Amino acid sequence: MSMDLTGLGMYTDYMTDTNRINTENLQKKLENTADTAQTEKAEDDALLDACKQFEAYLWEQIYKEMEKTTKLFSDDEDDDAYASNMVDYFKDSVIQQISSQTASERSNSLAQMLYEQAKRNYNIT
């Protein structure tokens, strides 16, 4: 009684190729998942940054309006125009920096609320 084993080699080759293809597909899927997670993290960070910038802009407008009220009682007629322009330039720069700092240091800030609302609205996990 002799057994014909010629078909067994073809079956083994088929199974080896199938396992190799499944392994490659799984590896690609895992790589895509890692890439997607990195992309989602980058998009999430960009959204939070945009919310912080928006809050900083709002604080800047508040501080500028507050600063205008102090000019109401000042005597600007005697000031040198060039010096006044330089002071205004640096004052605007400081107001922008303070606004950014105010927006980034607050834990329960408007930026955080905007960020969470945007995530809910656009189903971002």
pLDDT value, residue 27: 78
- Looking at the 3D structure of the chain, how many domains does it have? 1
pLDDT value, residue 7: 58
Residue in this structure with the two tokens 């330089």, named with its chain if needed: 86
* Cβ atoms of 71 and 106 closer than 8 Å: no
Taken in order 84, 85, 90, 96, the sign of the CA dihedral is positive
pLDDT value, residue 33: 73
* Nearest residue to 64 (alpha-carbon basis) of 37, 25, 93: 93
Residue 1 included in any domain = no
Residue 99, domain extent: 6-121
pLDDT value, residue 3: 52
pLDDT digit string (tens) for the chain, length 125 residues: 455 555 556 667 777 877 788 788 777 777 777 777 778 888 888 888 888 889 889 988 988 888 877 765 555 555 567 777 777 778 888 888 888 888 777 666 788 888 889 888 887 76
Residue in this structure with the two tokens 């945009």, named with its chain if needed: 50
Residue 34 included in any domain = yes
Query: What is the amino acid identity at position 22?
Result: N
* Cβ atoms of 40 and 100 closer than 8 Å: no
pLDDT value, residue 91: 82
Q: Which two tokens stand for residue 58?
A: 């709002």
pLDDT value, residue 9: 63
